[in-house]
């Protein structure tokens, strides 16, 4: 059976309610097999989870979610840091010794950022350190509610970004500002991990690109053997601007993933039964006439079923410093860099 069919079938199985007498034994076996920490879950009573899908998407207790308020960039999810660093020669390290192409991963740089529209925004954004540290923040909201501080940061760094993009419809590494560097960070979510993911910083999302793709395993052992794995898999990429310029967060699908679900992007349909044709679909958010959705640091963004990966590709100054190590386990809201 093709992996894309197997994945969709598994997604259906995940949603089948378990008989009451099976709930506790099944979840106990799963917890034991994958090393889940059920004590972190908001609901520790296994009888409250009707199916595997509900257990994968379990919420966490607020008190076990220490959010880093010092670093500009935090982890969007629980998981393992597989690799991070500068993008060199247009390639990103998938795992040690295996790379993938930024151009192949992101696709054509066809979107535009309507920077001029930001100067007219006057409302405030709840992105102060005290508010952004709340794990139960709502997800995306319209960019019309942009804070003056974030608007000023973006305007100061991007007055000429549209002209720059229009003149350079090429690889992403050629589109960053001359004084900045392009960086990447990849986080692998294992079956034991909390499977909701959050915004890693304050930014404005303008565009979504969905690649239907395959659904190959993104387990570290597999990633070492398949070159360009992330270029092959289904993924949903969200593109926008943050304090230092271009910012993207991509949710990468994998075998046994029922779907990638993004809050407040109801038009995104992943892991459908239709065999992927290889063509990506593009969408301005919330629409082409009025693009721009403000997302605050640690706001809920989306969720996976079972394991997968998140890839961040962004520009920042040359002195941007990562605050972690390859192979490190990290919790959502943990320090990534500044």
- Report cis status (omega within 30 of 0) of the bond before 189: no
- How far is Cα 257 from Cα 22, in angstroms, rounded to an integer? 22
**DSSP conformational letter for 190:** P
pLDDT confidence of residue 35: 92
pLDDT confidence of residue 333: 94
Q: Are 103 and 174 a contacting pair, CB within 8 Å?
A: no
- How far is Cα 167 from Cα 175, in angstroms, rounded to an integer? 9
- How far is Cα 158 from Cα 57, in angstroms, rounded to an integer? 37
pLDDT confidence of residue 118: 39
User: Is 184 one of the annotated active-site residues of the chain?
Assistant: no
User: Is 119 one of the annotated active-site residues of the chain?
Assistant: no
pLDDT tens string 65-103: 778 999 999 999 999 998 899 888 777 765 444 577 777
Report which of 228, 197, 200 is spatially closest to residue 336, judged by C-alpha positions.
Answer: 200
User: Is 78 one of the annotated active-site residues of the chain?
Assistant: yes
Give 99's strand partners.
93
Report which of 192, 187, 186 is spatially closest to residue 306, judged by C-alpha positions.
Answer: 192
104 membership: H or E segment, kind and range: helix 102-106
Report which of 269, 264, 266, 252 is spatially closest to residue 306, judged by C-alpha positions.
Answer: 252
Q: Which of 78, 193, 202, 299 is catalytic?
A: 78
**DSSP conformational letter for 162:** H
pLDDT confidence of residue 128: 33
Q: Which of 198, 210, 244, 261 is catalytic?
A: 198
pLDDT tens string 235-290: 889 999 999 989 999 998 765 554 788 888 888 866 554 555 556 788 888 887 77
Residues with Cβ within 8 Å of 111's Cβ and at least 6 positions away in sequence, in order, are: 206, 207, 239, 282, 284
pLDDT confidence of residue 159: 46
Segments in the chain below pLDDT 50? 1, 95-97, 116-138, 143-145, 158-171, 173, 223, 258, 273
Q: Are 98 and 223 a contacting pair, CB within 8 Å?
A: yes
């Amino acid at each position: 059976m093709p992996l894309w069919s197997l994945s969709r079938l598994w997604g259906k199985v995940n949603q089948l309610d378990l008989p009451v007498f099976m709930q506790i034994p099944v979840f106990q076996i799963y917890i034991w097999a994958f090393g889940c920490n059920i004590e972190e879950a908001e609901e520790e009573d296994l009888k409250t989870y009707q199916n595997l899908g509900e257990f994968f998407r379990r919420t966490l207790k607020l008190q076990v979610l220490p959010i880093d308020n010092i670093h500009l960039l935090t982890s969007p999810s629980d998981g393992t840091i597989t690799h991070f660093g500068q993008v060199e020669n247009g390639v990103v390290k998938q795992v040690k010794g295996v790379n993938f192409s930024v151009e192949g991963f992101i696709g054509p740089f066809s979107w535009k950022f309507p920077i001029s529209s930001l100067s007219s925004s006057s409302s405030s954004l709840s992105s102060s350190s005290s508010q952004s540290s709340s794990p139960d923040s709502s997800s995306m909201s319209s960019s019309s509610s942009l804070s003056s501080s974030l608007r000023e940061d973006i305007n100061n760094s991007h007055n000429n970004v549209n002209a720059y993009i229009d003149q350079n419809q090429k690889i992403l590494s050629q589109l960053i500002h001359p004084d900045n560097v392009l960086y990447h960070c990849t986080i692998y979510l294992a079956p034991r991990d909390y499977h909701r993911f959050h915004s890693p910083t304050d930014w404005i999302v303008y565009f979504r690109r969905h690649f239907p793709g395959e659904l190959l395993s993104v387990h570290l052992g597999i990633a070492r053997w398949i070159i360009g794995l992330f270029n092959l898999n289904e993924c949903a990429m969200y593109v926008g601007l943050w304090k230092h310029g271009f910012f993207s967060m991509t949710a990468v699908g994998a075998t046994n993933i029922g779907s990638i679900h993004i809050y407040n992007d109801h038009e995104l349909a992943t892991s459908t039964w239709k065999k992927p044709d290889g063509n990506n679909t593009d969408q301005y958010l919330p629409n082409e006439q009025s693009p721009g959705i403000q997302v605050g640091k640690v706001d809920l963004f989306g969720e996976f079923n079972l394991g997968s990966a998140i890839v961040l590709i962004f520009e920042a100054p040359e002195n941007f410093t990562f605050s972690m190590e390859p192979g490190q386990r990290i919790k959502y809201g943990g320090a990534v860099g500044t």
